[in-house]
Structure 1
Amino acid sequence: MVLLTFVGNLNKHTFEPVRSILHPIFRNPNQCPISSTFFVNDNFTDYCLVQRLFDNHNEIAMTTSSNKCPLMNCYDENNWNRWGENNWKREIRQQRINLIEKSSIHRSHIKGFRVPHLQIDDNRHFEPIRNLHFHYDSSMLFKSSKYIWPFTLDYSFNQIDCINCNESSKTIETLWQFPLHEWAYPNTTTTCRTLSDSTCLPEDELHTADLLYDFIIYNFDRHSSLTLGRRSPFVIELDLFWLSEHRDQRLEALIRFIDYILNNDDYRYVYFVSIEQALEWLKYPRNLTELEDFWAFSCSEIIYEYDIDCADTKPTDGEKPKQLTSTNTTEQYIDLQAERLFRSGIVLYSVWTFILLILTVLFYDKYFVNK
């Protein structure tokens, strides 16, 4: 699995690369468009685009509202202060409200969190996101020599290979961790924290599309090949501002990578999915031959355009939705109906009605039948 995760300010100035990456021409092996995860903050964010991305079956997760650096002063701000617990709680709560109110996304769909700038501070974000019923965190960064599968925080774990973790044995029940890993460049010992970090790239070479493409392929192979590394989900953090700068080279490298993987028979079982979808596979695993019919990787038959009003998620006369070929619309429909059924309380009312009926029958049988 390849997990494309976007961070940064999402608006019309940074969206063009996203449009190209998530173009419906790129299809997973089950013929559904590739999907991704967006960790949204409130800075200059166009919530209309957020809503459209969600409508098109991308996952909307979140970081803090201000996206400021909580642990270290990244931008030499004069009034910067290290965050306390109340800062974390306020920032997380506010951004959740922003997504619910400004993007019309139900709170049950906001499941994931990533700390701003990967700055974990004494695990202070864990308690707030657990109290808000988040399903996972994706903030821990591990060494490139130690590939870690997603894991639950119900138990303590060995933090030696975690670069940004705090030494804490505290456990958090029901919360998953989707780790990131450092990036390595061939034949060197230096590493990069993320794809947008160029510290491990050659200083005496131009960072061309070819160099970046080879860089991505090499790290993908380390995640997917038992000879180079250890198989694990390939989580890519894509900074929207970084993508917008030098867009020709960086976007070309990413597009070439996506196109190569999706059209190479050696990778016919590789899916580009959101973290939410990957989590469903971890909970309900399927073997490779069953992935095409796996409900969590399915899609609807409509793609919404990004250049129109987002007030209504239903197609309008001015919008021409693009038809897709989906093999799992029935299962998805059943799943959504079940979600609405339980959310509306019909089951609860039915149970109470049944209990009252039983009590009525018993009462009638005891006091009236034998008279």
Structure 2
Amino acid sequence: MGLTQLALLTCVVIATVTCSSQTNCHQGGNCRLPQCSCSSYSSPLPVKDTPQIIFYGFDDALNVRMARHFRKLFPSDRRNPNNCPISMSLYIQHAYTDYSLVSEFYKKGMEIGVHSVTHTNIDTEAKLADEAERQKNNLARLGSVPKDEIVGWRSPNLKTAGDKQPPTLKRLGYTYDISLTYTVGKRHQKKPWPFTLDYGYPYSCQIQPCPGRTASHKGFWEVPIVSLMDYKGAYPCAYVDGCYNSPTTEDDAFQFLWKNFEDNYQTRTPLGFNMHAAWFERPHNLAAMDRFIKEMTKKDDVYIVSVQKMLEWMKNPIKLSDLHNLESWGCKSA
């Protein structure tokens, strides 16, 4: 997504109109894990038993410059409390991508998702089907990523095909979408958790069109792009690199990351850093993120995992003390 578009989207505080939950969805009744999860503003477990999940979703081409930043921030010796390496999600477009790097980061345990072929607005069923299928094939054929492990989609410019998006992606083997934005206008505001679209999309549509409130897309997950508050606490930012007030020093950048972490840590709502790695081209931003991740890996209740792994936990919420038993969060060698 371009910075100009992000600024237009996020520089004005919008009063977000939402439904508190999917009206007809009753967790444990007509909606049961792992197939169905109602929308919610709270953890499925008591806060004390809930891991603080942090996920990184990076967009666009994977090239030599971006890979340099990823190697610095996500080395194999940075580990979660279960002694497995931290991980991230890469939503990759075709243009300008070095597919040898796709293979490298897949082998390192990172999630590889899709961000289209052409990086143009994909707002029709036909275009979505074409680009979602072709780029999945590109990543499998050129990047040596198993097709059945490519399950996440992010729309270019966060423009979706509305109610056509979930069934089209599901037919192509995708299990989740991470394209719909949710604006938080102030600190300490309630934030939504990931959920399935069995009972529609209950939140305000920030970028038209969105799936409808009454349409049912059974078992298909939506991971909302929940906005952060900028380092001054003044305006929301859908993307880390889309803030109207952009930090100009390492300390400002670190405080931006830390304060957003503090807001989520109170409720253990997953904290998503949705962004472009070009943000790290400014050395103070890279230094701040490096420092932030170091601090996070010191905590025994914080896990930095891919979006795919986060959803595996959502399907089977396991207490923090028992997370070593969650096979999908394990690693071959620790």
TM-score (norm 1): 0.70
Higher-Rg member (1/2): 1
Q: Deviations over 1:306-358 (max 9, x none)?
A: xxxxxxxxxxxxxxxxxxx2xxxxxxxxxxxxxxxxxxxxxxxxxxxxxxxxx
* 8 A Cα contact 2:230 2:244, kept in partner: no
Q: Deviations over 1:204-223 (max 9, x none)?
A: xx611110110011111111
For the pair 1:9 / 2:61, whether they are aligned, the reply is: yes
Q: Structure 2 CA distance, aligned partners of 1:221 and 1:188?
A: 13
Show the counterpart of 1:262.
Answer: 297
Show the counterpart of 2:229.
Answer: 184
Q: Structure 1 CA distance, aligned partners of 2:201 and 2:154?
A: 19
| CA drift at 1:287 | 0.4
Q: Aligned to 1:163, which of 206, 211, 219? A: 206
Show the counterpart of 2:331.
Answer: 299
Q: Structure 2 CA distance, aligned partners of 1:138 and 1:111?
A: 11
Question: How many aligned residue pairs are there?
Answer: 276
| CA drift at 1:4 | 1.1
Q: Aligned to 1:120, which of 138, 160, 173? A: 160
For the pair 1:278 / 2:310, whether they are aligned, the reply is: yes
Q: Aligned to 2:127, which of 66, 70, 87? A: 87
Equivalent position amino acid for 1:211 in 2: D
For the pair 1:250 / 2:302, whether they are aligned, the reply is: no
Q: 1:173 is paired with a residue of what secondary structure?
A: strand
Query: Identity across aligned pairs (percent)?
Result: 26
Q: 1:158 is paired with a residue of what secondary structure?
A: coil
Q: Structure 2 CA distance, aligned partners of 1:89 and 1:132?
A: 8
- Summarize the alignment of residues 1-371 of structure 1 with structure 2, pairs less than 5 Å apart: 1-70=53-122, 83-144=123-184, 145-160=189-204, 162-164=205-207, 166=209, 168=212, 169-185=214-230, 188-201=233-246, 207-226=248-267, 231-243=268-280, 245-246=281-282, 248-263=283-298, 267-301=299-333, 325=334
Root mean square deviation, CA, Å: 1.8
Q: Which runs of 5+ in 2 are unaligned?
A: 1-52
Q: Structure 2 CA distance, aligned partners of 1:84 and 1:31?
A: 43
* 8 A Cα contact 2:91 2:154, kept in partner: yes
Q: Structure 2 CA distance, aligned partners of 1:280 and 1:184?
A: 27
Q: Structure 1 CA distance, aligned partners of 2:109 and 2:68?
A: 18
Equivalent position amino acid for 2:104 in 1: R
| CA drift at 1:85 | 2.8
Equivalent position amino acid for 1:262 in 2: T
TM-score (norm 2): 0.78
Q: 2:55 is paired with a residue of what secondary structure?
A: strand
| Change in 2 beyond 3 A, CA 1:176/1:128 | same
Q: 1:29 is paired with a residue of what secondary structure?
A: coil
Q: Structure 2 CA distance, aligned partners of 1:100 and 1:41?
A: 13
